[in-house]
Amino acid sequence: MPIIELRLTANTKSPGDLLVNIQDKTFEYLSTTTNAEIRVSAYLERDWPRVETRYQELFINENLKFRVGMITPGSKNRKVSLPSEMKEGEQLVIMVKKQ
């Protein structure tokens, strides 16, 4: 599964950035879609002590970035309200727009 970054500040790496996995088909869709708004399901690749609600950018590479609209936790095993700790394998649903 490809790993992407949720960046707190657009166009800038920072210590609070979050790494998440997406499925291969989601990566392909992000790379080729012409839709303005996209719903992305992403999975945490490790435990994170703090997942925020205020990420500005979903970064794949310098040529493929998206502005983050809304993030919601999709954990089926427990109720999570962001900002919060989240565990490896838990899901985030991210609404993004092409930049």
Q: State residue 79's pLDDT score.
A: 84
Closest to 67 in 3D by CA, of 23, 28, 9, 2: 9
Q: What domain range is 12 assigned to?
A: 3-98
Which candidate, 99, 8, 15, places its Cα nearest to that of 61? 99
What is the rounded average pLDDT of the residues 28-46? 92
User: What span, in angstroms and rounded, lies between the C-alpha atoms of 17 and 15?
Assistant: 6
Q: State the total domains in the chain.
A: 1
In tens, the pLDDT along 38-71 reads: 999 999 989 999 999 999 999 999 989 999 999 9
Measured CA to CA, the distance from residue 80 to residue 56 in angstroms comes to 20
